[in-house]
Amino acid sequence: MTQVPVPADATIPRLLKRNAETRGAAPAMREKHMGIWQTLTWAGYYRQVHDFALGLAALGFKRGDVLAVIGDNRPRLYAAQLAAQCLGVTPAPLYQDASAEELIYVLEHAEAGVVIAEDQEQVDKIVSIRPRLPKLRLVVYEDKRGMFHYHDDALRSFASVEALGREFGAQHPGYVEAEIAKGQPGDIALLCYTSGTTGRPKGAMLSHANLIASATAFLAKTELQPGDDWLAYLPMAWIGDAVYTLVVQMMVGFACNCPESPETVQRDLRELGPSAFLAAPRIWENLLTQIQVKASDASWLKRKTFEYFRDRAIEAELLRADGKPVPAGLRAILAIGEFLVYGPLRDQIGLRRARWCLTGGAPLGADTFRFFRAFGINLKQVYGSTELSAFVSVQPDTEANPNTVGPPGPGIEVRIAESGEVLVRGANVFRGYHKQEEATREAIDAEGWFHTGDAGFIDPQGHLAIIDRAKDVGKLGEGRNAGTPFAPQFIENKLKFSPYIGEAISFGNDREHVTAMIAIALAPVGNWAERHGLAYSGYQDLTQKPEVRGLIRAEIEKCNRGLLESMRVRRFLLLAKDFDADDAEITRTRKLRRRVIAEKYAVVIDALYGGAAETEIATEVTYEDGQRATVRAKVAIEDVHA
């Protein structure tokens, strides 16, 4: 695995400075701009960080201050976070699609003194709430387009701060280097806010030592090389991006590549062909849906060829998972399939060069997991959380399966509490929640164990298995299945293997049977409707069609055949709108806010269990400009006979 020498007093800025000195001419960052990849060497990257840090110092920012960053993945936004760390200022990355109202809480709670915003859109959000943020002194924009008519002393361009820094540096030689030397491994390196599935996001304080310990444990289990390429496309506010793009990169020295825009990620991924790849389950599910839709739209011969080799690949993957040999005849078929189907598909989605790919942040459905592995993608599950500096465990190449997340990394202890909750202890455990001492004491016990809130167990091979969030695991409460364990995520992941189901939430705790609310996947269902001559005007109209309900019923019945009889979905309805982070139904990382949904749709849930044939949904929606409206629709409730 990857061997990286790290000094005992290492901090992230010191690692950056080391790379600039030892790998100065090698590529550190690339950015796609106007269709062309622009390269920044390690020496150039350090110079950019150095100048911006000097500019912040000239503007009065100092150790202990907080710098927030918001926008898509851009080298300058990463450089701003590194510049802050050089000065002992704490960076706090924000979700770029967060509304202005959401940003108020985080910026006020973090007491951010400066915000680095990518473009006019992000600046407008910050400016609209600035009167409510007394600590905010400066807003710096990275992209100057559309900013010429803004006249505000608190607004500065990124380039102007760099220029100011160069002037300050001429008068204070060695200033940044002296500040880097003052930094200690125990200093707070990142203020990373949790996704807030159960309430307000909490600011996890992560030290340099936490992050480097996590990255060291991860590298001990994976292979990365200085010449590798990494695609930096995940939200900067997600701990996964922060650790892999800001810390692991500093330790190994590979190049990070920023796509031109969120809309071009798929094209840029294929063009780049990264050496390794990390994606949340939602992205893998969307990739699978795209593949399935393209296959169904293909000619009869191509579709049948795809389905035949797909089934043979999954057959072989199941044999390997059970430790059984793959027969010679099947191996010969797979060799033909590699030429006709598997290799071209990996190339089409940009993963032909990837030695390994990771899924993390939430469980990935077993069927989706096996599909990608069957097609020759070395997909593995990684487990961690914000409070654990992103990493606890990852699966070895030869022991990847959908039911575990691998053995803990070196230096990380895991044990299972009597309640079934997973506890973790190690140098990767965060320093605590910002300004929330009571929440910190609840999360970390007197012996240093962090209580993850996840229910799980250790299997005989020493691999950690995560069942679900501990608070979400329940039992059926009535009838002949009373007392049967109920794990909603397992059922939902099975449902989402269907290309026509975009999101699902299941209910069953203290109930007689399982029911579900389904949000359709608009593009695949719309495509299906067009092929069947079914006219529709939009999402809501599509969900009202009896034919669409029949399509989803058939998909649920197919899913039910792979579930225990007690866990099968008995009734369902199609939502008139998808779950939306702006409506607080899901987090910015696409995790369901179950408590919010249960309260918001209480009448609907009662109708699912009350035997009603239909119910009215009245739900408030939030538009991009912050305005709200109520969407009302009568939806049919369907029984599932399977």
Each residue of 113-140: pLDDT tens digit?
Answer: 999 999 999 999 999 999 999 999 999 9
pLDDT value of position 227: 94
CATH number, domain of 616, equals 3.30.300.30
Structural domain ending residue among the three candidates 443, 469, 495: 469
pLDDT value of position 194: 87
* 39 and 180 assigned to the same domain: yes
Q: Which tokens in the block code for residue 477?
A: 């409460």
* 571 and 462 assigned to the same domain: no
pLDDT value of position 196: 66
Task: Name the DSSP letter for residue 89.
Answer: P
Which residue type does 316 have?
A
Cβ–Cβ < 8 Å for 200, 105: yes
* 222 and 165 assigned to the same domain: yes
Task: Please compute Rg for the chain using Cα positions.
Answer: 25
Q: In what order do the strands lie in the sheet with 569-574?
A: 501-507, 514-520, 569-574, 628-639, 614-622
Is 501 a domain residue?
yes
Sign of CA dihedral 437, 438, 444, 445: positive
Q: How many helices (H) and strands (E) does the chain have?
A: 23, 27
Each residue of 352-387: pLDDT tens digit?
Answer: 999 999 998 888 888 899 999 999 999 999 999 999
Residue 213 has a CB neighbour count (10 Å cut-off) of 24
Which residue type does 146 have?
G
Number of domains in the chain: 3
- pTM of the predicted protein model: 0.90
What whole-number percentage of the chain has pLDDT above 70? 98
* 418 and 494 assigned to the same domain: no
pLDDT value of position 479: 73
Helix (H, G, I), strand (E, B) or coil at 249: helix
CATH number, domain of 286, equals 3.40.50.12780
* 59 and 74 assigned to the same domain: yes
Each residue of 282-328: pLDDT tens digit?
Answer: 899 989 989 988 998 889 999 999 999 999 999 999 999 888 999 99
N-terminal to C-terminal alpha carbon distance within the chain? 47
Cβ–Cβ < 8 Å for 337, 376: no
Mean pLDDT (whole number) for 321-342: 94
Is 6 a domain residue?
no
Q: Is the pLDDT of residue 198 over 70?
A: no
Is 16 a domain residue?
yes
Is 478 a domain residue?
yes
Q: Where are the beta strands (DSSP E) in 317-420?
A: 356-359, 379-383, 393-394, 412-416
DSSP assignment string, 129-150: HGGG-TT--EEEES--TT-TT-
Domain range enclosing 565:
474-639
Cβ–Cβ < 8 Å for 436, 202: yes
Return mean pLDDT, the chain: 92
Each residue of 208-266: pLDDT tens digit?
Answer: 999 999 999 999 999 999 999 999 999 999 999 999 999 999 999 999 999 999 889 99
Helix (H) or strand (E) holding 42: helix 42-58
* 447 and 478 assigned to the same domain: no
Sign of CA dihedral 432, 435, 440, 446: positive
DSSP assignment string, 446-466: TTS-EEEEEEEEE-TTS-EEE
* 337 and 454 assigned to the same domain: yes
pLDDT value of position 275: 95
Each residue of 8-64: pLDDT tens digit?
Answer: 899 999 999 999 999 999 999 999 988 899 999 999 999 999 999 999 999 999 999
Cβ–Cβ < 8 Å for 588, 195: yes
* 587 and 445 assigned to the same domain: no
Is 615 a domain residue?
yes
* 579 and 487 assigned to the same domain: yes
Each residue of 498-556: pLDDT tens digit?
Answer: 989 999 999 998 888 999 999 999 989 999 999 889 999 989 899 999 999 999 999 99
Is 602 a domain residue?
yes
* 170 and 194 assigned to the same domain: yes
Structural domain ending residue among the three candidates 258, 275, 292: 275
What whole-number percentage of the chain has pLDDT above 90? 71
Q: Is the pLDDT of residue 1 over 70?
A: no
Sign of CA dihedral 579, 582, 586, 588: positive
* Separation in Å, CA 404 to CA 176, 319, 378, 510, 641: 45, 18, 15, 27, 32
Which residue type does 582 have?
D
Question: Which of these, 466, 441, 440, lies nearest to 454 by C-alpha position?
Answer: 466
Mean pLDDT (whole number) for 394-402: 90
Cβ–Cβ < 8 Å for 298, 306: yes
Is 5 a domain residue?
no
Each residue of 458-488: pLDDT tens digit?
Answer: 999 999 999 888 888 888 887 777 778 888 9
Is 208 a domain residue?
yes
Structural domain ending residue among the three candidates 227, 257, 275: 275
pLDDT value of position 366: 86
* 60 and 205 assigned to the same domain: yes
Question: Confidence class of residue 199 from pLDDT cuts 50, 70 and 90?
Answer: low
| Token pair 């994976």 in the structure block, residue | 222
* 390 and 480 assigned to the same domain: no
- Among the residue ranges 261-270, 397-406, 472-481, 602-611, the one predicted with the least confidence is 472-481
